[in-house]
Structure 1
Amino acid sequence: MVQLTRLFVISRVFFMVFLISGAAQGQTSPIMLSSPADAMNETAPDDIVAQAIQAELAPLATAFPPLLTSPRHQRVDVNRVVMDFYSHRGYRAAWSHDSDVAQLLKSLGETQVDGLDPADFRIAELAGAQTLMQSMVPTPAQRAAFDMAATHTFITALLQLRRGKVDPSRLDMHWNFDPVGVDPRADVNNFFAALDNHDVARAFAQAPPQEAIYGSLRMGLAQLRTVRDRGGWPKVAEGESLKPGMDNAAVGQLRTRLVAGGYLAPQRTPRTIYDDAVIAAVKKYQSEQYLGADGVAGAATLAALNVPVEARIDQVRVNMERARWLLYKLQGTFVIVDIAGYKVALYRDGKAIWRSRVQVGKPYRSTPVFQSEITYVTFNPTWTVPPTILVQDMLPKIRSNPGYLAANRIRVLDREGNVLDPAGVDWDHPRGLTLRQDAGAENSLGQVVIRFPNDYAIYLHDTPHRELFAKPFRATSSGCIRVENPLQLVELLFNDPVRWNAAGIQAQLANGKTENIKLPVKVPVLLAYWTVDLSNDGRVIFKPDIYGYDTAVLRGLNKPLKLPILDWQRAGSPAVVAGQNQQ
């Protein structure tokens, strides 16, 4: 019996401490299904297991804060949900059917297909506790402890699938992707409705994002794990660039690697020549990897090919987590900027109707991740030089070239807005100055700016630096998003084929005036960060992590949860069934 009592079920004391703690899930801003007083005012249940559950939970009702909703990101407090769930059902046990527990254990194990770690949920301990209870007559306290543990694990796993394991607002203090239209109460109630209907598997099937892109990421993750389980993909010797016409063992390795990645058709007889088929495959790979597509397997291409499959698995897991944060936002009409992918798209009714290349912030002046609403467009904009660019970029140019300001049509203004003669300014110690570039074709903002309120002075705009759109690496701006075809986007945003068609926009530009024109309807804009793409055939392809954001997300995904340890001893001594050997 000593061995049995050392196995599992939840310590009452430990469980109470754990409930009060709130930190175990890394989740903030509790969302209550009821008020704290509800649990205290419940009529005492008749069921002895329910009485045991109530005895554990009711004294803790006042330990929880009132309803709070984070302005940046709503998170559900699992402990509050567990308490409210039992309060609403009169503290009756929820896991009395072995089939429900079996579905729970199976579904928890399958969370790996979503990039989560089943070990977080202590499946073996729950399974062991169930087996142990089946071999004895458990006490009410034991049944209550097991039931609460199963419920806690159930809701924790489902919320991870639904909203993500990592709280993005803890990674980015400016995170503001508020899940408007997604009611966490409805999520939780749907989960428990499935449990009441003894369809636990359905709750797990419906919790993750249902969009096709998420399904493709899931399939891509499974394929990469198959590659890993077969020993990974072959390594290509580095040190020498591989070029068309070469015939050696390294080219043979390259061909094998391209076959493994789906870029080159397999050959019955191994070949070592760098022929036209290899050139085409390398160009395709380079294009997908945001490398210069020259058909030569140089240092950067070989380094990307040799990234271990385990690292690519983690990259997909990170982006599946981002999908759980954001996919609910991708509905209706919206603009989405893919920062790491250097592109922007306008969606209408869930379909992309326009796409364009963009330039984004340099790694040391990164474009922030946030959401807003496009409210107006500035035609023929002037450009007021931001203080950082003035100090770090312009002052050195002005000091070395007295004609720089005139050549770039930049005026110097004092605090009252009066125009100053640049020759009379002490450029070694400038004070109280504003530099403003006049509107025109060579203005740094180009012909048009698409504006949306934010704390970063970030916007979408035209640019005279069009040659940079042809570069594979386009993290070249000072933070704002330069758009390759901004006038097309402006026309679609106004969505007025009579007044704001292409001819109407050109007429507005031709008058040369700097004017702000409001959109008839505000359009949501999302600046998001993804380091994977999907090819036209649904394959997962990888982008450089230009800002190094993946590391923190992966660390959060891999951080173990602190679920309670199962311990029978603190839940009371079990009554052993007839025939059971006592230890």
Structure 2
Amino acid sequence: MKIIRSAAIVALIGGCAIATMDVRPASALTLMDFIRGGKKRTSPEYAQPARPLPGVGMIMPQQIDPRTAAKPPRVTGPRYYTYKAEPLRRIATDHLLDPIVTGSVQNGALPPMLRPPLSDARQFLPQINVRATEGVAKAVENYYGSRTDFVWINGSGVSARAKSALAVLAQAAKVGLDPQDYAVQVPSDTFDRGDMIAREKELVQFELAMSVATLTYVQDTVRGRIDPNKISGYHDFKRKSVDLFAFLDKMVGSDDVAALIESQNPKSEQFQALKLELERLRAQTDATPRVEIAPGTLLKPGESNPELANVIAGIKLKASESLKTEHAVVLASYQGTPDYTPELVSVVEAFQKEHGLKADGVVGQASIRVLTGGDTTADKINKLEIAMEQARWLPDGLGNRYVFINQPAFTASYTDQGVEQFSMRVVVGSKTNQTYFFQDEIQTVEVNPYWGVPQSIIVNEMLPKLRSDPGYLDRMGYQVEVGGRVVSSSAVNWYGSTSSVAVRQPPSSDNALGELKILFPNAHAIYMHDTPSKSFFKRDQRALSHGCVRLADPRRMAAAVLGTSIDDVGKEITSGRNKALQVPQKVPVYVSYFTAWPNKTGSVEYFNDVYDRDTYVNRALEATRNARRAEG
């Protein structure tokens, strides 16, 4: 094998593309594709097209002067947006006034002292100014436009039902929401009984405001405060719908409105674990000792660095008692010198192994995170609130059987019968080629797969080489199609459009997808697959692919979703034939992004925000808060 001479080549090792144009789902380019670029292979037979095809039979690349030719185009991936929060509008209270419905005709001739309380209160509706989002406003308008009764007021005051509901809204922070979003000005129990008109106006104002606050809470806790699809092109969710009119009607007939409202909160065990962790953190004072290590510190064996003293201090604080006992002599004799000696390297390696890190003695970002205790309490609370918001985008309860990929954790787990069966390391998209956040269903396992090269890789990475060496793909054994017809790579005009050009790599030992791929058809060409680049799984930071999810143990995952044994999967692979195996029953898969998430024991773990997505969620939440606080 040739020696790798450039780090840039390593960056091209397989994964999936972040953007595609008229191509089949694909992964990424293998290292072997480039380092064997000059190796002769037997080219497949190419069918000659009966008629001219786009990009074929036109001006050949060698006839074009590269100095005057246009630069190769670029295929770009999704982008992040400036979040635009849903605006509030005034509820059309003037449309709710109906003299027949309000009873003002019936009671108009009665003296004020003889009229039933609130019997004419609806006449004040046009004077009420309450604002809400479109969905909530419509539900309130429809309800009060078809009902004569009030929900939250009776006699001359606030009802017990309202007080129960207010108690739930006031505790919104416990479920990761902002109580200010549901704050309502409550009329005082003391008022001027000589001015019942003013009192009834105040109560009607409260009535509508209370309905808006309650429905907003219910909608927020069911589906989340923000629309994930407005955060970035990497978010892909069908937003949940909530029948607010029916819920308002249901509250009228409920004997326990507080329990009814609280029942709308997510009930999954993962959400409950996040909720308990949030409560625990808010109760503590953040007095836990911490060690500070300078940002950007990278300490390698044999080097000298003043931050070494803080590293050893972190080990003394965070290591287990057994580790500290085993290395007691070295730790006790360390005098704070900057020299990273072999004895200290052994201590660091033991600490890394104890915390599931790569035990290489190199102190980098992952090790520093553990040594310093990771996030502050405030940071963890923020991650929990974001996680609870994002959990609402998913089904309430992930199911009894599913695959859960958490990108910041670089893991994929398989759950059956409601119990996590196993978890494995994965490689996800790099920051440039990010993996999407969505859910789908696994349908197929393909053994000895073809790799269809996506347009983003053809254009961004292959095209510059193909313009100078049109026969490159022929020698590499790739298959090229133009308009659906197989042609020679050297016959394609690589200076023209590639939109009708498809490239795929046949099954082989160095195929970018390895032995198999696990498919859940989606618009993003994302799937799970094997890889010949096993060394990447040893790294702590594994955002390295073109977008797809590479599995450390693909045979085990394939066997799980197929409901068969690992040996049976191995036999299919050993046959050497490309074959699609349908899963007996579709398996939900969550390609998720949580920087705080419970493990199988229910303990919440925290992870680095590898794509900085939490920043954009925070911005979206802030925009939502500002929109809801805006004066109408």
> TM-score, structure 1 length as denominator?
0.71
Residues 470 and 492, structure 2, Cα contact 8 Å, conserved in 1: no
In 2, distance between residues paired with 1:553 and 1:247? 34
Are 1:110 and 2:171 counterparts? Answer: yes
> Which amino acid letter does the alignment assign opposite residue 352 of structure 2?
K
> Which amino acid letter does the alignment assign opposite residue 177 of structure 1?
F
In 2, distance between residues paired with 1:540 and 1:295? 27
1:451 aligned partner? 519
Alignment match of 2:290 (pick from 216, 231, 234): 234
Residue 225 of structure 1 deviates from its aligned partner by: 2.8
Residues 331 and 350, structure 1, Cα contact 8 Å, conserved in 2: yes
Residues 410 and 435, structure 1, Cα contact 8 Å, conserved in 2: yes
In 2, distance between residues paired with 1:264 and 1:142? 67
Alignment match of 1:214 (pick from 249, 271, 288): 271
1:302 aligned partner? 368
Residues 249 and 272, structure 1, Cα contact 8 Å, conserved in 2: no
Alignment match of 1:90 (pick from 148, 160, 169): 148
CA offsets 1:466-506 (integer angstroms, 9 cap, x no match): 221222122111112222222333333333x5xxx545444
In 1, distance between residues paired with 2:535 and 2:548? 17
**Change beyond 3 A, Cα 1:411–1:417:** same
Residue 315 of structure 1 deviates from its aligned partner by: 1.4
In 1, distance between residues paired with 2:96 and 2:402? 41
1:526 aligned partner? 590
Are 1:147 and 2:207 counterparts? Answer: yes
Residue 444 of structure 1 deviates from its aligned partner by: 1.0
1:69 aligned partner? none
> Which amino acid letter does the alignment assign opposite residue 593 of structure 2?
Y
In 2, distance between residues paired with 1:92 and 1:49? 9
In 2, distance between residues paired with 1:280 and 1:106? 52
Give runs of aligned pairs for residues 163-202 of structure 1, distance below 5 A: 163-172=223-232, 175-178=235-238, 184-185=242-243, 189-190=246-247, 193-194=250-251, 196-197=253-254, 199-202=256-259
**Change beyond 3 A, Cα 1:253–1:151:** farther
Structure 1 residue matching 2:280: 3-state secondary structure? helix
1:224 aligned partner? 281
Deviation larger for 557-566 or 460-469: 557-566
Are 1:472 and 2:536 counterparts? Answer: no
**Change beyond 3 A, Cα 1:292–1:302:** same
Residue 434 of structure 1 deviates from its aligned partner by: 3.7
> Which amino acid letter does the alignment assign opposite residue 391 of structure 2?
A
In 1, distance between residues paired with 2:391 and 2:247? 21
Are 1:52 and 2:121 counterparts? Answer: yes
Residues 374 and 523, structure 1, Cα contact 8 Å, conserved in 2: yes
Alignment match of 2:452 (pick from 384, 387, 390): 384
> Which amino acid letter does the alignment assign opposite residue 487 of structure 1?
R
In 1, distance between residues paired with 2:501 and 2:617? 41
2:112 aligned partner? none
Residue 433 of structure 1 deviates from its aligned partner by: 4.6
**Change beyond 3 A, Cα 1:382–1:259:** closer
Name structure 1 gaps, 5 residues minimum. Answer: 1-22, 29-36, 65-74, 266-270, 568-583
**Change beyond 3 A, Cα 1:95–1:59:** closer
Residues 286 and 293, structure 1, Cα contact 8 Å, conserved in 2: no
**Change beyond 3 A, Cα 1:100–1:453:** same
In 2, distance between residues paired with 1:167 and 1:316? 18
Q: State, as a whole percentage, how many aligned pairs show the same letter.
A: 25
> Which amino acid letter does the alignment assign opposite residue 619 of structure 2?
R
In 2, distance between residues paired with 1:351 and 1:42? 59
**Change beyond 3 A, Cα 1:505–1:76:** farther
CA offsets 1:36-89 (integer angstroms, 9 cap, x no match): x999798445766365347637999xx99xxxxxxxxxx981112222333454
In 2, distance between residues paired with 1:565 and 1:120? 11
Q: Which structure shows the bigger proportion of residues in helix conformation?
A: 1
Residues 264 and 281, structure 1, Cα contact 8 Å, conserved in 2: no
> TM-score, structure 2 length as denominator?
0.66
Residues 142 and 245, structure 2, Cα contact 8 Å, conserved in 1: no
Give runs of aligned pairs for residues 225-374 of structure 1, distance below 5 A: 225-227=282-284, 229-230=285-286, 234-238=290-294, 250=310, 254=314, 258=318, 282-283=351-352, 287=356, 292=358, 298=364, 301-302=367-368, 305=372, 307-328=375-396, 330-374=398-442
Residues 597 and 606, structure 2, Cα contact 8 Å, conserved in 1: yes
2:55 aligned partner? none
Residues 174 and 279, structure 2, Cα contact 8 Å, conserved in 1: yes
CA offsets 1:136-189 (integer angstroms, 9 cap, x no match): 74532222111111121122123222221112232245754336xx7622x764
In 2, distance between residues paired with 1:461 and 1:528? 17
Structure 1 residue matching 2:142: 3-state secondary structure? helix
Residue 317 of structure 1 deviates from its aligned partner by: 1.0
Residue 367 of structure 1 deviates from its aligned partner by: 1.3
Q: Compare CA radii of gyration and give the structure with the larger one.
A: 2
In 1, distance between residues paired with 2:173 and 2:277? 13
Residues 247 and 273, structure 1, Cα contact 8 Å, conserved in 2: no
1:491 aligned partner? 559
Name structure 2 gaps, 5 residues minimum. Answer: 1-82, 89-94, 107-115, 326-330, 335-343
Structure 2 residue matching 1:488: 3-state secondary structure? helix
1:100 aligned partner? 161
In 2, distance between residues paired with 1:326 and 1:417? 42
Are 1:79 and 2:101 counterparts? Answer: no
In 2, distance between residues paired with 1:191 and 1:280? 60
Residue 257 of structure 1 deviates from its aligned partner by: 6.1
Residue 322 of structure 1 deviates from its aligned partner by: 0.6
In 1, distance between residues paired with 2:223 and 2:202? 31
Deviation larger for 163-172 or 343-352: 343-352
In 1, distance between residues paired with 2:228 and 2:385? 15
Higher RCO (CA 8 Å, separation ≥ 6 residues): 2
Residue 366 of structure 1 deviates from its aligned partner by: 0.9
Residues 480 and 503, structure 2, Cα contact 8 Å, conserved in 1: yes
Q: How big is the alpha-carbon RMSD for the aligned residues of Structure 1 and Structure 2?
A: 4.6
In 2, distance between residues paired with 1:285 and 1:241? 20
Structure 2 residue matching 1:208: 3-state secondary structure? coil
**Change beyond 3 A, Cα 1:132–1:192:** farther
